Amino acid sequence: MAANLVTWPGGVWVHDLAPEPVEQLRRRGARVARDLDELARRTELICIMVRDDAQVRAVLDRLLPAMSAGHVVAVHSTVAPDTPAELAAAAADRGVQLVDAPVSGGAPGAADGSLAIMVGGLDEAFAACRKPLGLMGSEVVHAGPIGAGTRMKLARNLLHFVAFTAVGEAQRLAEAAGLDLLALGRIVRHTDAITGGPGAIMHRPTAAPIPDGDPWAEIVEHVRTLGEKDLGFATELARQLGVDVPLAEHAAGELARALGLAPHGGGTG
């Protein structure tokens, strides 16, 4: 991420406890701050990417006394839901604006500047950091007030890791059925690249039930019909093979509601 900021007019200053990445960045044109005090004095926007809430607080506690009013801090670490508001209040006492700006896209997105960055904070704070963030991410979204970026990241990662858990079920079922798991993985990656995966159904601005006459109703009803059929077949196969698939069984009962439809026998809204 820092390497993509080297082209920013005026350059980028970096600091880290680990010397190796700092030296790599220095060779790419970054300037190295001796400590956090120098980093705070030399820059107007500081991006923090560390491991957890405690490390974010420790870094911010060192930075704020040396920062000037009007400067901006962007916290890229994924933290607890209430942490951004707490950090923003501490920064505001020094006249510093803080945004929570967690990222998604992993190491490949960080390397090529194609991350998704979800920003929570005041409009003026977002405007101050929007262009630099655009060097690190090709999708930069102002999610809302402080904390909204973190909440969006947590929702995104809920989908991510629930899907990973579902992968485990699918692999156990496939393995019990005598299938090649590596071939299955290739099929999943290939088709998700075509369809968009779970994000393919995330085009409505609300999770409320779809009202009668809505154009989405016919589309998702078709998805529900196929999904309930295939989940039924998959869970039956799992029973035959003695494979435990609780997520699939739960999904079979929840698919209609997830799509914005009423269960069979009910109205649509």
User: Which residues have CB under 8 Å from 241's CB, separation 6+?
Assistant: 173, 176, 177
User: Quick one: 41 and 127 in the same domain?
Assistant: yes
Domain of 8?
3-151
CATH number of domain containing 218: 1.10.1040.10
Question: Token pair of 201, please?
Answer: 């159904």
Question: pLDDT tens, 210-241?
Answer: 998 899 999 999 999 999 999 999 999 999 99
Question: pLDDT tens, 38-90?
Answer: 999 999 999 999 999 999 999 999 999 999 999 999 999 999 999 999 999 99
220 neighbors 259 (Cβ within 8 angstroms): yes
Question: pLDDT tens, 181-194?
Answer: 999 999 999 999 99
State residue 265's pLDDT score: 52
User: Which residues have CB under 8 Å from 120's CB, separation 6+?
Assistant: 84, 99, 100, 101, 143, 144, 145, 146, 147, 148, 149, 150, 151, 152
User: Quick one: 169 and 144 in the same domain?
Assistant: no
User: Quick one: 53 and 172 in the same domain?
Assistant: no
Is the pLDDT at 152 greater than 60? The verdict is yes
Q: Which residue has the higher pLDDT, 93 or 10?
A: 93
CATH number of domain containing 14: 3.40.50.720
Domain membership of residue 160 (yes or no) is: no
Average pLDDT, the chain: 94
Q: SS3 of 22, please? A: helix
How many domains are there within the chain?
A: 2
189 neighbors 226 (Cβ within 8 angstroms): no
* Start-to-end CA span in the chain (Å): 46
Judge if pTM exceeds 0.85.
yes
State residue 264's pLDDT score: 64
| Catalytic positions | 153
The fraction of the chain above a pLDDT of 90, given in percent, is 94
Distances (CA, A) of 231 to 162, 188, 240, 247, 266: 17, 16, 14, 10, 21
Element holding 120 (H helix, E strand): strand 115-120
User: Quick one: 38 and 144 in the same domain?
Assistant: yes
Pairing of strands 45-48, 31-32: unpaired
User: Quick one: 26 and 130 in the same domain?
Assistant: yes
State residue 267's pLDDT score: 47
User: Quick one: 102 and 170 in the same domain?
Assistant: no
User: Quick one: 174 and 74 in the same domain?
Assistant: no
State residue 41's pLDDT score: 94
User: Which residues have CB under 8 Å from 157's CB, separation 6+?
Assistant: 78, 104
Question: Token pair of 65, please?
Answer: 């006394």
Question: pLDDT tens, 95-106?
Answer: 999 999 999 999
